[in-house]
Amino acid sequence: MDYPKLLQELKSGTYRPLYFLHGKESYFIDAISSYIEQNALSESEQAFNQTVIYGKEADHKAVVDAARRYPMMASRQVVILKEAQEMRGLSDLLSYVQQPTETTVLVICYKHKKYNKFNTKFGKALKKQAVVMESKPLYDNQVPGWISNYLKGKKMTITPKAAELIAENLGTDLGKIANELEKLSLNLPAGVQVDDAAVEEHIGISKDYNIFELQKAIGLRDGVKAMRIVNYFAANPKKGALVPTIAALYNYFSKVYLFHAAKNLPETELLSTLQLRSKFFLKEYRAAARNYPRSKTEQVIALLQEYDLKSKGVGYRGTGKPESELTKELVWRIMH
């Protein structure tokens, strides 16, 4: 079962005896276990009928003993096994998994990695008896949409540019992003539209000096603005490290290259091909494609690959240049 479907089922009031939540993205696992922890029992029932166990501190017997108990003055009890990936003898829960107690909701949280042993006895028993949810990380291009949906749940909207700005700077760590979005919901009234100025004020991401603005300046061949941003990165190394800058520019020019091949498609198909959420960004890619013909775009992509190797010291150990100088050199060569 995937995250949206499982959350919808829980919100409808349906709870199963056994859940196995696993995967690399911790956010969805935490969100489901937290929802069950906060909503499966009333506040008065939780004191006697809710148990949280940490895998590193307990063995399978402690988990089974807790799960086999009967609820007190309630129709069910909840047992949450957190950090199950650190538990020794997790598969020793086999006998319980094969026959879970109907009055217990046991939630097993196996975080930071995918569980790859579903072909074992224990894994097959999980697939048969448990609700299994794999929590997969989002792709880079899915994060702005996730940000928009998250804020929609807070009765707020966000401009495409602001969503891209947050995604570019915070990456795909949804827990980290959610924490920053909570700042917006606490500081801004419901119904407001979040723009890049609000992101700068409340999250601390500059609306003028970021990789998003750098790639736009390069795409529009605005050399003055591009060098102003590069100089800002040089003075603030954590804001614009070379490796993520190269990765972002590679992604950008890969889309410019794709635009050349797909530019005659209808707009909706072009958006889908370039994996853009909004036609807001299409104007920028059209301009970049005019400024960087196909042959030049190919040269830029090769240049980015060259500097990626330089940044890692592969074949270029003699350069001795600091990252900031390599960034300036790279941007200058792209634009000339």
By CB neighbour count within 10 A (0-12 exposed, 13-18 middle, 19+ buried), where does 141 fall? Answer: middle
Residue 209 confidence (pLDDT) above 90: no
Q: Predicted confidence band at 316 (pLDDT cuts at 50, 70, 90)?
A: low
Candidate from 102-111, 197-206, 213-222 with smallest mean pLDDT: 197-206
Q: What pLDDT was estimated at residue 164?
A: 87
Instruction: Give percent above pLDDT 90 in the chain.
Output: 71
Q: Residue range 307-330: average pLDDT?
A: 77
Q: What pLDDT was estimated at residue 318?
A: 47
Q: Predicted confidence band at 315 (pLDDT cuts at 50, 70, 90)?
A: low
Residue 160 confidence (pLDDT) above 70: yes
The CA-based angle 207-209-211, given to 5 degrees, is 95
Q: What pLDDT was estimated at residue 184?
A: 92
Q: Residue range 120-149: average pLDDT?
A: 94
Question: With respect to CATH, is domain 140-203 assigned 1.10.8.60?
Answer: yes
Distance CA 27, CA 300 (A): 36
Distance CA 145, CA 167 (A): 10
For the chain, give the mean pLDDT.
91
Distance CA 336, CA 333 (A): 5
- The H-or-E segment that residue 158 falls in is strand 157-158
Residue 278 confidence (pLDDT) above 80: no
Stated pTM of the model: 0.73
Residue 54 confidence (pLDDT) above 70: yes
Q: What pLDDT was estimated at residue 221?
A: 94
Residue type, 173: D
Domain boundaries, the chain: 3-134, 140-203, 211-335
Q: What pLDDT was estimated at residue 320?
A: 63
Where would I find the H helices in 70-173?
A: 94-98, 121-129, 143-152, 160-170
Tokens describing residue 336: 């000339």
Question: With respect to CATH, is domain 3-134 assigned 3.40.50.300?
Answer: yes
Give residue-wise pLDDT tens across range 64-73: 999 999 999 9
Give residue-wise pLDDT tens across range 190-203: 899 999 899 988 98
Fold of 211-335: Zinc Finger, Delta Prime; domain 3 (1.20.272)
Residue of 106, 114, 111, 112 lying closest to 130 (CA atoms): 106
Candidate from 61-75, 104-118, 157-171, 305-319 with smallest mean pLDDT: 305-319
Backbone angles phi, psi at 317, to 5 degrees: -65, -20
Residue 79 confidence (pLDDT) above 70: yes
The CA-based angle 237-243-247, given to 5 degrees, is 125
